[in-house]
Amino acid sequence: MIKENSILVLRQFNSRTKEEYWMLPGGGKEEHETSEEGVIRELKEETNLDIKVLDLIEDDFEPGVDCYKTYKTFICEPLNLEEMQAGKENSGVTFILDLVWVDIHNEKDWNNYLLKDQFYPSMKMIQTALINRNKPLEIHD
Protein backbone atom coordinates (compact mmCIF):
# COMPACT_ATOMS: atom_id res chain seq x y z
CA MET A 1 0.00 0.00 0.00
CA ILE A 2 1.55 3.27 -1.06
CA LYS A 3 0.68 6.89 -0.33
CA GLU A 4 3.06 9.48 -1.76
CA ASN A 5 6.52 8.26 -0.60
CA SER A 6 5.23 6.07 2.23
CA ILE A 7 4.19 2.45 2.53
CA LEU A 8 1.73 1.03 5.02
CA VAL A 9 3.12 -1.37 7.62
CA LEU A 10 1.24 -3.38 10.26
CA ARG A 11 2.44 -3.08 13.85
CA GLN A 12 1.55 -6.43 15.41
CA PHE A 13 1.89 -8.27 18.70
CA ASN A 14 2.41 -11.99 19.29
CA SER A 15 0.76 -12.92 22.60
CA ARG A 16 2.57 -16.26 22.80
CA THR A 17 6.11 -14.84 22.51
CA LYS A 18 5.15 -11.43 23.99
CA GLU A 19 6.92 -9.74 21.08
CA GLU A 20 5.98 -6.82 18.89
CA TYR A 21 6.89 -7.06 15.22
CA TRP A 22 6.14 -5.15 12.03
CA MET A 23 5.18 -6.58 8.67
CA LEU A 24 3.55 -5.73 5.37
CA PRO A 25 -0.21 -6.18 5.17
CA GLY A 26 -1.35 -9.22 3.24
CA GLY A 27 -1.73 -12.94 3.59
CA GLY A 28 -2.74 -16.03 1.72
CA LYS A 29 -5.20 -16.27 -1.09
CA GLU A 30 -8.21 -18.50 -0.80
CA GLU A 31 -8.68 -21.41 -3.18
CA HIS A 32 -11.10 -19.62 -5.51
CA GLU A 33 -9.15 -16.31 -5.63
CA THR A 34 -6.58 -14.88 -7.98
CA SER A 35 -3.55 -13.29 -6.33
CA GLU A 36 -5.00 -9.83 -6.95
CA GLU A 37 -8.36 -10.79 -5.43
CA GLY A 38 -6.54 -12.22 -2.41
CA VAL A 39 -4.54 -9.06 -1.76
CA ILE A 40 -7.67 -6.91 -2.14
CA ARG A 41 -9.53 -9.07 0.43
CA GLU A 42 -6.59 -9.29 2.87
CA LEU A 43 -6.01 -5.53 2.84
CA LYS A 44 -9.71 -4.92 3.44
CA GLU A 45 -9.63 -7.30 6.43
CA GLU A 46 -6.45 -5.83 7.90
CA THR A 47 -6.89 -2.11 7.15
CA ASN A 48 -10.57 -1.59 6.24
CA LEU A 49 -9.35 -0.03 2.99
CA ASP A 50 -10.56 -0.57 -0.54
CA ILE A 51 -7.55 -0.63 -2.82
CA LYS A 52 -6.47 -0.55 -6.43
CA VAL A 53 -3.67 -2.96 -7.36
CA LEU A 54 -1.12 -1.07 -9.46
CA ASP A 55 1.85 -3.40 -9.97
CA LEU A 56 3.32 -6.70 -8.98
CA ILE A 57 6.90 -5.93 -7.93
CA GLU A 58 7.98 -9.35 -6.65
CA ASP A 59 6.84 -12.83 -7.58
CA ASP A 60 8.97 -15.34 -5.66
CA PHE A 61 8.34 -18.90 -6.80
CA GLU A 62 10.53 -20.43 -4.07
CA PRO A 63 8.62 -22.49 -1.50
CA GLY A 64 7.68 -20.42 1.54
CA VAL A 65 9.23 -21.01 4.94
CA ASP A 66 5.82 -20.71 6.59
CA CYS A 67 2.25 -21.46 5.50
CA TYR A 68 2.63 -19.64 2.17
CA LYS A 69 3.60 -21.46 -1.01
CA THR A 70 4.92 -18.35 -2.76
CA TYR A 71 5.43 -14.71 -1.95
CA LYS A 72 4.06 -11.90 -4.10
CA THR A 73 4.46 -8.21 -3.33
CA PHE A 74 2.04 -5.78 -4.94
CA ILE A 75 2.04 -2.01 -5.06
CA CYS A 76 -1.49 -0.84 -4.21
CA GLU A 77 -3.11 2.51 -3.64
CA PRO A 78 -5.88 3.20 -1.15
CA LEU A 79 -9.25 4.38 -2.46
CA ASN A 80 -10.83 5.40 0.87
CA LEU A 81 -8.08 6.57 3.26
CA GLU A 82 -10.55 8.23 5.61
CA GLU A 83 -11.86 4.75 6.55
CA MET A 84 -8.47 3.27 7.45
CA GLN A 85 -8.39 1.39 10.77
CA ALA A 86 -6.58 -1.64 12.12
CA GLY A 87 -8.52 -4.80 11.39
CA LYS A 88 -9.97 -6.93 14.12
CA GLU A 89 -8.78 -10.11 12.40
CA ASN A 90 -6.41 -12.12 14.57
CA SER A 91 -5.09 -15.63 14.72
CA GLY A 92 -5.70 -15.98 18.44
CA VAL A 93 -1.99 -15.39 18.89
CA THR A 94 -1.20 -12.32 16.76
CA PHE A 95 -3.04 -9.01 16.85
CA ILE A 96 -2.78 -5.82 14.80
CA LEU A 97 -1.90 -2.96 17.14
CA ASP A 98 -1.61 -0.12 14.64
CA LEU A 99 -1.20 0.85 11.00
CA VAL A 100 1.93 2.91 10.36
CA TRP A 101 2.95 4.90 7.27
CA VAL A 102 6.71 4.62 6.72
CA ASP A 103 8.70 6.85 4.36
CA ILE A 104 10.28 4.28 2.05
CA HIS A 105 13.00 6.68 0.88
CA ASN A 106 14.10 7.95 4.30
CA GLU A 107 15.92 4.88 5.59
CA LYS A 108 17.70 6.77 8.37
CA ASP A 109 14.31 7.19 10.08
CA TRP A 110 13.40 3.50 9.95
CA ASN A 111 13.01 2.02 13.43
CA ASN A 112 14.55 -1.20 14.76
CA TYR A 113 11.53 -3.28 13.75
CA LEU A 114 11.98 -2.26 10.12
CA LEU A 115 15.71 -2.98 10.30
CA LYS A 116 15.32 -6.55 11.63
CA ASP A 117 16.71 -9.32 9.44
CA GLN A 118 13.28 -10.78 8.67
CA PHE A 119 11.83 -7.44 7.45
CA TYR A 120 14.67 -5.25 6.17
CA PRO A 121 15.10 -7.19 2.86
CA SER A 122 11.41 -6.55 2.05
CA MET A 123 11.80 -2.84 2.78
CA LYS A 124 14.88 -2.62 0.53
CA MET A 125 13.17 -4.59 -2.25
CA ILE A 126 10.18 -2.24 -2.19
CA GLN A 127 12.44 0.81 -2.05
CA THR A 128 14.42 -0.40 -5.07
CA ALA A 129 11.30 -1.39 -7.00
CA LEU A 130 9.72 2.02 -6.47
CA ILE A 131 12.88 3.79 -7.59
CA ASN A 132 13.25 1.58 -10.68
CA ARG A 133 9.55 1.08 -11.40
CA ASN A 134 9.00 0.86 -15.13
CA LYS A 135 6.85 -2.03 -16.12
CA PRO A 136 4.76 -4.37 -13.94
CA LEU A 137 5.63 -8.05 -13.74
CA GLU A 138 3.25 -10.59 -15.20
CA ILE A 139 1.07 -12.11 -12.48
CA HIS A 140 1.18 -15.93 -12.21
CA ASP A 141 -1.54 -17.68 -10.19
Residues 6+ apart with CB under 8 A from 12: 20, 21, 22, 23, 94, 95, 96, 97
Domain 2-132, what fold?
A: Nucleoside Triphosphate Pyrophosphohydrolase (3.90.79)
CB proximity list for 88: less than 8 A, separation 6 or greater:
none
Domain definitions of the chain by residue range? 2-132
| pTM attached to this predicted model | 0.81
Average pLDDT of each block of 10 consecutive residues along the chain (141 residues)?
A: 89 91 86 92 92 86 56 88 83 86 91 89 87 56 48
- Return the pLDDT at 28: 80
